[in-house]
Amino acid sequence: MSLPILMTVDDDPAVSRSVARDLRRRYGQDYRVVRAASGADALDALREIKLRGDAVAAILADYRMPQMDGISFLEQAMDLFPAARRALLTAYADTDAAIQAINVVDVDHYLLKPWDPPEEKLYPVVDALVDAWRAAGDRSVGETKVIGHRWSSPSFKVRDFLARNSVPYRWYSVDEPEACRLLDAAECAAEDIPVLITPDGTVLRKPGGEQIADAVGLSTRPASEFYDLIVVGGGPAGLGAAVYGASEGLRTVLVERRATGGQAGQSSRIENYLGFPDGVSGAQLTDRARRQAQKFGAEVLTTRDVTGLEARGSARVVKFGDGSEIAAHAVVLSTGVSYRALEAEGVAGLTGRGVFYGSASTEAPDCADEHVYIVGGANSAGQAAVFFSRHAKEVSILVRGPSLQASMSHYLIEQIEAIGNIHVRTRTTVERAHGTDHLEELTLSDRERGLTETVPTGHLFVFIGAAPRTEWLGDEVLRDEHGFVRTGPDLVVEGRRPPGWDLDRDPLHLESSIPGVFVAGDVRAQSVKRVASAVGEGAMAVTLVHRYLEAR
């Protein structure tokens, strides 16, 4: 197999030779350095590389180039090699443009010219790029294929699982000629759908999450039986705990039942997260956090359903649905919350077939020229409305209350008011969903006008309420009346510590009623339901884990 490629793109011949020389000096034994004089030439070269099946590890592009600047080039290069890491070469005067590229185009780094000495200013950046590329793997060389029915809940689940785990795939509707050819080659019948075909030709019929994860290279099995820290749940709080735990030397494993990112990972754009003035998608933020955790040595396990938690002496044991278990000195619970089910006639039977919970971004291309309905008044609903407004003809937000003011951030309300094809309908609820194979109509009740109407639509996205995922915890873990886990001062009532508490101290701030089991993020009672606070609690939980371990 040929060496992976480091590409440089610069229209200044002297600069191009200089950066290529410095790269060959440090990386020439392990990488092939390819240089291009313009964005157009570089794209032609990337297309040839793609056809040969070679891998591109990193691309360094100059910002100021004629015809096509570095940002435009990198944006197109991402379509060919999404796993390649990207850096922008820029002068000091263009620093603002470089920062914008990091936020908008997901550029990984920017380098100021000149970069002398390269040992201090060039190589550390390129080291980070190639390390991140190695950790993620270049999945773009192969292609996972999914064949299914357009309006099929199992087919949607396969597509959604791959998308949320950042696994590139190509979708084929069962009625396409190429889909028929693939099914014939795989010797599959209609009853086998959905069918997943991996790049090496492995065929999965009606696959479940663990089968898919194993087939596409996601980790599902722990490397050890005992750790310093187990993090249960891979949302922002869990990822924060994994990053800080692993970076501080704790043997850390993060266990996620479906895909890292949680509800935040499904957000099309988070605009009030510190450090991203132009916003960042939940998928981008999740991908960066996951790579960061793995860079520090944390294991990340997907499709592992946690069914129990037990204290055995000084060990804290986490049990899985298949009967296996792992143990650690401490545990951080960050299982987040899930959207509540919409209690309206016909909704349950059409879930995954036009009715979706959360922002199902895989459905966006099919919303063109459609009227999309969104139920909910919190930030997640508003972010979804803004996202789908770019694809759909119209978007209606259905809100039970009198306005969005009480539940949605002000900046998001202003955005929605400025978008012409988004309409907010207050005091309106869904009474019934109609359809045979898929959603076709909704019956809406407008309490403000005292009217009931039936409207045509093929897409309903639901963002109502939040239910904590704590049903698997035993009675030893105290929760409030809504199922959220109580921690710290909330466990001490009239000076009395929780039942069974055997330590000569009160529970630490994020500690549950089991010593050494900490709670972070939305699943914690009285927590602030924001991404930034969840990440902060994940980091804080690790600090308290250290305090717990030192005091034992």
pLDDT at 359 over 80: no
Q: How far is CA 317 from the centre of its chain?
A: 27
Confidence of residue 141 (pLDDT cuts 50, 70, 90): very low
User: How does pLDDT run across 416-442, given as a tens digit for each residue?
Assistant: 999 999 999 999 999 999 999 899 999
Those residues with Cβ within 8 angstroms of residue 214's Cβ, 6 or more apart along the chain or in another chain:
220
**Confidence class for position 195, pLDDT limits 50, 70, 90:** very high
Q: Are 240 and 261 in contact (CB under 8 A)?
A: no
* pLDDT, tens digit, 9 for 90 and up, residues 196-207: 998 878 899 999
Share of the chain above pLDDT 90, in %: 57
Residue whose C-alpha is closest to residue 31's, from 39, 20, 41: 20
Name the 3-class secondary structure at 401: coil
- 138 pLDDT band, cuts 50/70/90, is low
What is the architecture of the domain spanning 5-136?
A: 3-Layer(aba) Sandwich (3.40)
Decide if 359 contacts 446 (C-beta within 8 A).
no
Cα 276 vs. chain centroid, distance in angstroms? 16
**C-alpha of 377 from chain center:** 22
User: Could you give the CA distance from residue 333 to residue 48 in angstroms, rounded to a whole number?
Assistant: 47
Q: Identify which of 268, 258, 259, 430 has the alpha carbon closest to the alpha carbon of residue 341.
A: 430
The Cα 447–Cα 387 span in angstroms is: 28
User: Shortest CA distance to 296 belongs to which of 236, 233, 235, 252?
Assistant: 252
Tell which wins on pLDDT, 467 or 417: 417
* CATH of 226-338+467-551 among 3.30.530.20, 3.40.640.10, 3.30.1340.30, 3.50.50.60: 3.50.50.60
DSSP code per residue over 162-173: HHHTT--EEEEE
Query: Burial letters for 404-438: b for 16+ Cβ neighbours within 10 Å, e otherwise?
Result: beebbbeebbebbeeeeebebebebbbeebebeeb
pLDDT at 200: 77
Provide CATH code, domain 144-216.
3.40.30.10
Is residue 326 within 8 A of residue 227, CB to CB? The reply is yes
**312 — pLDDT class (breaks 50, 70, 90):** very high
What is the rounded distance in angstroms from the CA atom of residue 547 to the CA atom of residue 55? 45
Distance CA 353, CA 349 (A): 8
**Tens digit of pLDDT for each residue in 389-413?**
988 999 999 999 999 998 899 999 9
The CATH number of 348-462 is 3.50.50.60
Buried b (16+ CB within 10 A) or exposed e, 45-72: bbeebeeeebbbbbbbbbbebeebbbbe
Instruction: Write out pLDDT tens, residues 48-57.
Output: 887 676 889 9
Contacts of 42 (CB under 8 A, 6+ apart): 7, 9, 36, 59, 61, 73, 77
DSSP code per residue over 42-84: HHHHHHHHHHHT--EEEEEEES--SSS-HHHHHHHHHHH-TTS
Which has more pLDDT, 104 or 288?
Answer: 288
Report the candidate in 131, 111, 143 with the shortest Cα–Cα distance to residue 57: 131
Average pLDDT over residues 243-270: 90
Average pLDDT over residues 506-518: 97
Q: How confident is the model at residue 170 (pLDDT cuts 50, 70, 90)?
A: confident
- Between CA 95 and CA 100 the distance in angstroms is 9
Least confident of 6-10, 90-94, 100-104, 249-253: 100-104
Asked if domains 226-338+467-551 and 348-462 share a fold, the reply is yes
Domain ranges for the chain, please list them: 5-136, 144-216, 226-338+467-551, 348-462
